Amino acid sequence: MAQTYEFPKLILEYRQVSKLKSTYVDALPALIHPRDGRIHTSYNQTGAATGRLSSSDPNLQNIPIRSELGRLIRGAFVAEKGNVLISADYSQVELRILAHLSRDEVLISAFQSGEDIHERTAREVFGEAAISNPSECRRRAKVINFGIVYGLSSFGLSQTLGISRADAQLFIDAYFKRYSGVRAWLDDTVTEVRQTGVVRTLYDRIRPMPDINSKDFNLRHFAERTAVNSPIQGTAADIIKVAMIRIHHRLRELSLSAKILLQVHDELVIEVSEADVEATSVLVREEMEGAATLLVPLKVDLNVADNWMDMK
């Protein structure tokens, strides 16, 4: 309704501003520690079933980034005088893990040659349309690429892209025709989990799937989606934990001023003196990209700024 009428649009805007104010603008300043002027979160090793770290009291992994208004909250997180922040973010790590696990030749080829994976998928799925309308096809391909990892359905794709369910199914079918290795891996993974009742990350960390053979369709369907997502998301969680340990030890060995402040799933935020920025950036990239050996390279995007908002 907000696309047609002004009043529903205003209600949605009010809800957004009200949420930002109550959750962040009002709440976060009250949590600043009087001794050091910082906010301290707690990280939980076993809070998430996938193996991801979770953050609480307050949750600093949930600071907004998608909306322009929400991103302003990140501008309040600043480095101390004489220091800067480094953001080190794994680039498309879950898709790279999917390429490794599925051994799909098209995915592997794209990542090994450094192609834009969304443009490659756009060409594979949409053909000539990707040439005549590249930006829209890339946008749709990006939704498909990331959606596949989460058990994307034709209904979900149609809702996201604003297209018919029939067209959405055609796009998904075209994806699996070109990325046949992904289709085979998804099917094989579900079959194996039905037999074993567990999924494993690349590091053999186990997650039980008790509902994989449930007679309840909704429970079984959710378990099937979880069974293919967990090895991917769980492996990504394992990899960044390995990287964090290695970075911590290297920083100590080299007596650099840097320290890891935050882990936001695929991203690390590090505070460092301006004098040590270059050496720390090189170290962080080396350890993150070398944290695992896959069939495709791991890539890290690095940004430097004096506040968290200007990282992106």
Return the residue matching tokens 């840097």: 258
Distance from C-alpha of 281 to C-alpha of 95, rounded to nearest angstrom = 24
Q: What CATH number does the domain located at 96-233 have?
A: 1.10.150.20
pLDDT band of residue 162 (cuts 50, 70, 90) is confident
| Nearest in space to 144 (alpha carbons), one of 115, 114, 122 | 122
Handedness of CA 262, 267, 273, 279 (dihedral sign): positive
Q: Rounded mean pLDDT of the chain?
A: 93
Task: Compute, in degrees rounded to 10, the torsion defined by CA atoms 96, 104, 204, 288.
Answer: -20
Distance from C-alpha of 48 to C-alpha of 265, rounded to nearest angstrom = 11
Strand 83-90 with 259-264, pairing: unpaired
Neighbours of 242 (CB within 10 A): 16
pLDDT band of residue 312 (cuts 50, 70, 90) is low
Q: What is the per-residue pLDDT across 38-66, written as a single tens digit (0 to 9) for each?
A: 999 999 998 888 999 999 999 999 998 87
Q: What is the per-residue pLDDT across 171-202, written as a single tens digit (0 to 9) for each?
A: 899 899 999 999 999 999 999 999 999 999 99
Q: What is the pLDDT of residue 180?
A: 94
Neighbours of 148 (CB within 10 A): 24
Distance from C-alpha of 178 to C-alpha of 102, rounded to nearest angstrom = 13
Specify the pTM. 0.90
Angle between the N-to-C axes of helices 217-253 and 93-102, in degrees from 0 to 180, rounded to the nearest 10:
110
